[in-house]
Amino acid sequence: MAIGIGISSWVWTSPLDDSSLELIHKAKQFGFDVFELALESPHQFDYAKAARVLKEAGMKAVVCGAWGPDRDLTNDDPALRQNSLDYARAALECCEAVGATVLPGPMYSGVGKRRYVAPEQRKREWELAVTGIRQMAKMAADHGVTLAVEPLNRFETDLVNTAAQGIQLCKDVGEQNVGLLLDTFHMNIEEKNTYAAIKAAGPLVKHVHACENDRGAPGSGLVHWAEVGKALKEIGYAGAAVIESFTPNMKTIAAAAAVWRPFAASQDDLARDGAKFLRGLLG
């Protein structure tokens, strides 16, 4: 099966709402066949309407989770852990409504949680993440959804930074519907060898964010794309490769991702150029 070429709604807007669902048609016109719906809040858009627009455009869907500080499976406060699970439940309802079979994101902790902690605390937080993701996985199975856990760079989390750590987390969770989202932006910072990391993850790779080192259009920067393409083909990856970028006009996400300047002449240019490059690399 061919790798789907996709784009995140975050490239253009935040939050995605009913009025901006027409971006799905724009993505189709630019050559994408997968649209990633960034779900910042439960029911922030009409799930049924999103499903209709996706069908009209002939696009497949992925629902991308957003785990902020108030959705933290590793927090000592049980209310924050429960909030993370409640959010996951709403995201899974969205997945089922739009026909998405993968829910990716850094669901193990709250993004931006980066500290030096003692080994004992690190072990406790890891165990909390394992327990929480196991609970999410059981919920996801009821919706026919696979969770794709995303390692983030050291400036965004202190728990899971590398593919190797992600592999261990998946093993510790021990559920068949839990795999990895590998994001080339984060990998470019944390991995010694992107090709080797993807190969090591192998069948655990359930989703890919194809992002340049500066969040610009894939192919315009320093990521070793030939290695990425070669590794994905060798592991038989048949999911989606989605461009995830952001615009500085979006205050909440721009701050979380440290996006302070544009990465292309326009967001449309970023999308068009990225689609063309990825189609050539992975087609």
The CATH number that applies at residue 88 is 3.20.20.150
Residue 244 is a catalytic residue = yes
pLDDT category at 252 given cuts 50, 70, 90 is: confident
Give residue 194's pLDDT. 98
Domain that holds residue 91: 4-282
Q: Does the pLDDT of residue 254 top 80, yes or no?
A: no
| Per-residue pLDDT, 250 | 78
pLDDT band of 1, cuts 50, 70, 90? low
What is the reported pLDDT for 19? 96
Among 59-63, 124-128, 258-262, 274-278, the minimum mean pLDDT is found in: 258-262
261 burial (CB, 10 Å; 0-12 / 13-18 / 19+) is exposed
Q: Give me the mean pLDDT over the 25-38 stretch.
A: 98
Distance CA 165, CA 159 (A): 8
Say what the pLDDT of residue 257 is: 84
> Contact at 8 Å (CB) between 241 and 4?
yes
User: Is 191 designated active site?
Assistant: no
Q: What's the chain's Rg over C-alpha atoms? A: 17
pLDDT at 248: 81
Mean pLDDT of 44-62: 98
Joined together, the tokens standing for residue 154 give 């050291």
| pLDDT computed for residue 139 by the predictor | 98
How many folded domains does the chain comprise? 1
- pLDDT level of residue 251 (50, 70, 90 thresholds): confident
Q: Which of 40, 150, 190, 212 is catalytic?
A: 150
Whole-number average pLDDT of the chain = 96
Q: Label residue 139 exposed, middle or buried (CB < 10 Å: 0-12, 13-18, 19+).
A: middle
| 174-195: pLDDT as tens digits | 999 999 999 999 999 999 999 9
